[in-house]
Structure formats: structure tokens, C-alpha cells
Amino acid sequence: MDRLAKMVPANPANPVTLAKAIEIEPRLRAARDEDEAVSRLLDVALKLEGLYRNASTHAAGVVIADRALTELTPLYQDPRSELPATQFNMKWVESAGLVKFDFLGLKTLTVIDKALKFLDQRGARVDMGVLPVDDAKTYELMSAGHTVGVFQMEGQGMRDTLRQLRPNSIEDVTAVGALYRPGPMDNIPAFVDCKFGRRAIDYLHPSLEPVLKETYGIIVYQEQVMQIAQILAGYSLGGADLLRRAMGKKKKDEMAQQKAMFVAGASERGVPESQAASIFELVDKFAGYGFNKSHAAAYAVVSYQTAWLKANAPVEFFAASMSLDIANTDKLAVFYQDAKRFGVKIRAPDINRSGADFEVADGEVLYALGAVRNVGLAAMQHVAELRRDGGPFRDIFDFVERVDPRHVNKRTFETLARAGAFDSIHPNRAQLVAAADALIAYAQSVAADRASAQASLFGGDQAGVGRPRMPRAEMWTPVERLDEELAAVGFYFSGHPLEDMIPALRRRRTELLTDVILKAEAGAEVFRMAGVIRRKQERASQSSGEKFAFVTLSDPTGEYEVLFPPESLRRCRDVLEPGKVVSIKVRAKARDGEVRFFGDEAEPVEKAIENAVAGLRVHISPRSAEIDALKRRLEGAVNARGGEIILTAPLEGGREVEVKLPGRFTLDGAMRGALKTAPGVLYVEEL
């Protein structure tokens, strides 16, 4: 089902019907033709499409009436809710005689509140009620498009618009929020050109300059439509509002009456009929797109406040933002990368420093224990309380003796170990995972003793006598460690899988994101890059119906998005899967301070750096047990097309012995990482 569903193009702005999807997607047709069950499934789905699946309640819609609701609309009682709902939808309740309100709950307000409390903790109290709206750093941040996490300004399209418009006043912020939506978006180029003098400003009539000056002659708001009708045609406030509503509904008869009234009123005030009719047509065109200014201004204030926090208190901003998305790993990964760009240090989860939620300490963000996958916020609150009441955990046994195993079970314990939360008291993560069963059994035994209030027969100095023996376990290789960390945290925290491959990638003229951006801005266009694929979104082209893909990749210097057009996607689709490490050839386009990437080729990174290293010299200690462990790692890497390995060991008297191993070996990044962390290996150098 998941495989078939992903073949249907997902376009929320213009949803594709199933019939259209079958028409434009050859893989869907092939699945239908090859499998009778799929054919039957699609036949049934085509009959069901468009029917109501369930009753739903508007998240913020509240209606009021001047009499009992049952006299105006049938009601529906959702079994999961205490409040009834109208059976009429939001478009019909008003016609039935009800007044509708939307009460919006913005989590951004909670982000601001949290950030202000973090600022209070370091004695930097800020009153948002009197925050000046002329802060240069805030407008610089907006103009650069560095608005990840800023209310209403996070999307790539909005960030591109901000770079073009370069807001420098709260009026600009209000206007960009009103313009950046379907319809009025078409007016953005004219707005930008008028602002920067590339196009003459047209106020339609001299008397309208005060109304249209702040938006450079472009009608943006519904209130401007009403003011134009008042000033130019003598409408009352109530009449102007009726005109605004009529223009929004586009009813021909009503519009004809309104046009006659407008032209007549304007003529009485000395405006020629032809000019008045022309202005009416222009106003009518814009009115359908016009946005409510009072709404846009309120939102602009929230956008400005969050941008101000990001520009002036980035540590507190990131801690608060991540706290509100504590359960959204993808969003946390975006914030983590953005924080690195802002120079904000985010400390890895630590059982002795981190709280259950995100916190700020010593100018750094402490990563929340509760943000580690599958551990549960309540369980981590229990751990934080134990540490607050009884002091830091001294070692891993102290931890399991104090926690309640009902909160910290085996799965929770293993995930914390994989995330590195125990590194400060026990750095061998592999050993903790291997010992999880025994340690949790011991925790349950200690908890049972606590519950039965039994004292140790031999007194307090014998406490810990029943502690389990820790199994022998080699520490994970860097690649294994990062893979486990990725599974537990959701992104790479303490390193990156490509780090050990960088020298080999450099020899293949592969460049990292930060270098590429600088070179692209200087005019270079074609690059070889590499990365771990984080996400892939396939979409259908509106013109041809062919699939293209947005692929998000990560390298040690950051994340970037590459657009693979249809012809490239057809060649590379099998390689472009989340989790794979790939080498890609891209074309870069730098414009308005943003660099965009278009993918031409992709291949597994191992293939790209194959034989990039001629050989390795591995410096080892001569202890036999450690040499045996090294031998086991090398046995799985024999490859006739690989490189050579020379072992170098110290002898007495300051001499060394070198042994060139027979055969050849795979020397990819994973293998080099495994060798560097093998017991007894002092360091590794390339030949």
C-alpha cells in the first residue's frame, strides 16, 4: 500500500485525482497491469474517491447565534468531544444565520514566552510589549532569508521573497505576509520593483497617495479597498465594507450595481467617468486577493518578535523553538543545522547535564533527554528529578540503582546509550547495549528491595554486592557509532559518516557545501558533491506529468537540497533513497544570496572513491590479543581491487618493524574508520 500510495503525486495546492495519477504515472499503470489485486484495488478506489470519509470539526471555528442553535442548523455530536458541531460546513453556517469566529492558537507565542523565560534566567529581561520595531539586526536577518523558525517566514519561497524585498520596516513585514499567498503573490515583483525605484509608483489618483504610499502603489489590503471607495466615491464605512464583500464574491449583478454607484460617486468628486471606471476595474482585480490588514499586522508583530529573538538572543531562541518541536525529529535536525550556522553550540544529551526538556546553560543549548527517540518525556522527567534530589549519577550502576524500572525499561536504556547520554559516566556505548538485559534486571531487583523495605543483611557497606558483571565489548567504530546515534537521535550529532572519507573525496575533486557556496557565488557552476540522503520528495511536473524530486543531503558542513529533474531522476532513482551515502554531480545557480542545486548524476560514494587511497600504514601496539582483534576486522575487507596495508609496530630500543600484509583490501571510509578504532591501533596514515 505504501509503495502504491507514493506513486500518486502529492501536491496539496492542486491535488491530483487518482484517474489523473494513473494517466501520468507509468509505474502505477504497470502495477495495475501486472497484478490483479492492484487492478481491483484501483477500481474500488476510483469509485470511493471524493466521498466523505468521516465527519470532521474545524480546529478553531466557533459559531454563535441569537437563538438556540438547533433552530438554525442540524448538529452533530462527535463521541470524542464534549461540544457539538454544526452539520453545515463553514461556508453554509453563515447563510443559515450564524456568526463564525476562528480562534487561533499559535505555538509561536509559547516559543516567545519560553525564550523570554530563558533570558530572565540570565538577568536579561525583555518586554515584548515595548520592543522597538526598528532593530537593524532583525531586518538584516530577514533580508538575508535566515528565517528558519521565524513565524510565517520559514518556507523556501518566503525566504527567497525576503531576499528580494529586503524588508526594513514593520510595514514591509506586514505587506510581505499579506502578499505571500496564492493570488497576491503575482504582485510581489511589482511591489519589489516599485520599492527600489525600478518601476514608477502609480497611485491611481493623487487623492489616493496617503492610502497606497506604504505599499508603493500596490493594493494589498482589504482596508485599502474600503478607503479608496470612501475617498474617491464617497462611500460610508458600512457601504465600503459591502463593496469589499461584493468584490470578494464576484457576483455579476451586485458588481454592476456597485460599479454604477462607484462611478457616480467619483464623478460627483470631480473624477472623470472613464478614469473612475478604470480605477474600479483595477480595485476589483486586487480586491479578490486583498488581505485583512489588521490580521496581517498582528501576524507581522509575531514574525518580527521571533526574528528579533533569533537575531539578538539566538541561544534562547533555538532552545525555545526546539522545545516546542521536541517530538518532531525532522524539525529538530533542521534547527540543529541552523544553530551551527549561527554559531550556537548544542550540547549532546547527557544524563548528568540535560533536562527532560531543552534548557540553556553557560551560553549553550542542552539537548533534551526527552527529545531522544522512544524514551518518553515523563520517563526523562523522572530521571531529571532523581538527579536534582540525589545529585549527579556517579556511574552506570548508580544510575540503574536509583531509577524506577517502570520508567526506564530496556528499550529506553538502550536508546539513551545509543544516543550517547551515558558517555560522561560510561563511554563504551556498545558495552552498555550488550549489558542492557542484565542491568535492567538488576534495576528491577533493587526496586523490588526498595518496595519491600528490606535492608541488606551485611549493612550499607555491602551495597552493590549484587551488581552484574559487565560483558566484554569492543567500542563501536565511528561509522557504527554514528549509525546508532542516528537511530536514537534522528540525525548525526557527534560527527558525520563522511568525515573519514574527506581526504579520498578531495582526491576525486569532491567539495563540501561551505566551499561550494563560496565558489558558486563567485560564478562557478558545476561541482562534484557528496552526502547522506536525509529526505526525498517526488512530485509530478504540471506541464508534462513526469516526476522530479527534491532530495535533501547532509555533509559534515551542513544540509542542502538538490532538485533532480525528470531525466536525471530516471537515471538515478534507485540510488536516491534516504539513508544512502552518495556522490553527486550538480549544477549550482547563485541568485539573490541563495544557491540552488540541480542534480545531473548520482552514484554510491564507495564507487566514487574506489581506489582513491593507494594504501594505509597502520601503526599498532604489538600486544597479541589486540593484533587478533585487528586481524578479524581485516578478514572481512579482502578485495583484489583494493589497496595495500602496511602494519608498523614499535620494538625495544626505539626501533620499528614494518609488515606489508599479503593481498589487497577495501579501503573505503567505513573500513578506515573501523581500523582507526580497532584495539591497539595508535593511528592510521594514507600512503
pLDDT tens-place string over residues 579-591: 889 999 999 998 8
Domain boundaries, the chain: 2-48, 61-102, 196-290, 362-489, 499-608, 615-686
SS (H, E, C) 518-567: HHHHCCCCEEEEEEEEEEEEEEECCCCCCEEEEEEEEECCEEEEEEECHH
Residues paired with residue 530 on neighbouring β-strands, in sequence order:
583
Q: How far does Cα 111 stand from its chain's mean position?
A: 16
Least confident stretch, 112-121, 450-459, 524-533, 633-642: 450-459
Amino acid 13: pLDDT:
63
Find cell 495495475 and name the residue.
Answer: 32
Q: How far does Cα 113 stand from its chain's mean position?
A: 21
Amino acid 453: pLDDT:
65
pLDDT at 462 over 50: no
Nearest-angstrom CA–CA distance, 192 and 214: 12
Work out whether strand 346-347 and strand 615-620 pair parallel, antiparallel, or are unpaired. unpaired
Helix axes 237-249, 252-268, angle to 10 degrees: 140
Decide if 449 contacts 404 (C-beta within 8 A).
no
pLDDT at 6 over 80: yes
**Residue 296 pLDDT class (50, 70, 90 cuts):** very high
Closest to 511 measured CA to CA, from 483, 553, 566, 463: 553
pLDDT digits (tens, 9 = 90+) for 511-528: 999 889 888 888 889 999
- Judged by phi (left if over 0) then psi (alpha if -120 to 50, else beta), residue 299 lies in alpha
Helix axes 478-489, 669-676, angle to 10 degrees: 100
- pTM of the shown model: 0.74
DSSP state of 15: P
**Residue 460 pLDDT class (50, 70, 90 cuts):** very low
DSSP state of 291: B
Q: In angstroms, what CA-CA distances link 304 with 83, 147, 165, 272, 473?
A: 36, 11, 15, 43, 53
Amino acid 465: pLDDT:
61
pLDDT at 320 over 60: yes
pLDDT at 461 over 50: no
Give backbone dihedrals phi and psi of 620, rounded to 5 degrees, phi first.
-130, 160
Closest to 334 measured CA to CA, from 586, 569, 521, 159: 159
pLDDT at 189 over 50: yes
pLDDT digits (tens, 9 = 90+) for 432-444: 999 999 999 999 9
Decide if 404 contacts 450 (C-beta within 8 A).
no
Nearest-angstrom CA–CA distance, 671 and 655: 28
Q: Which CATH fold would you assign to the domain 499-608? A: OB fold (Dihydrolipoamide Acetyltransferase, E2P) (2.40.50)
- Mean of all residue pLDDT scores within the chain: 89
Amino acid 422: pLDDT:
97
Enumerate the H helices of 68-106 as residue ranges.
Answer: 90-93
Decide if 562 contacts 553 (C-beta within 8 A).
yes
Give the right CATH number for 615-686 from 3.30.70, 3.30.519, 1.10.760, 1.25.40: 3.30.70
Three cell numbers at 482?
A: 554514528
Decide if 267 contacts 273 (C-beta within 8 A).
yes
Least confident stretch, 378-392, 481-495, 573-587: 481-495
Residue type, 391: G
**Residue 669 pLDDT class (50, 70, 90 cuts):** low
pLDDT at 14 over 90: no
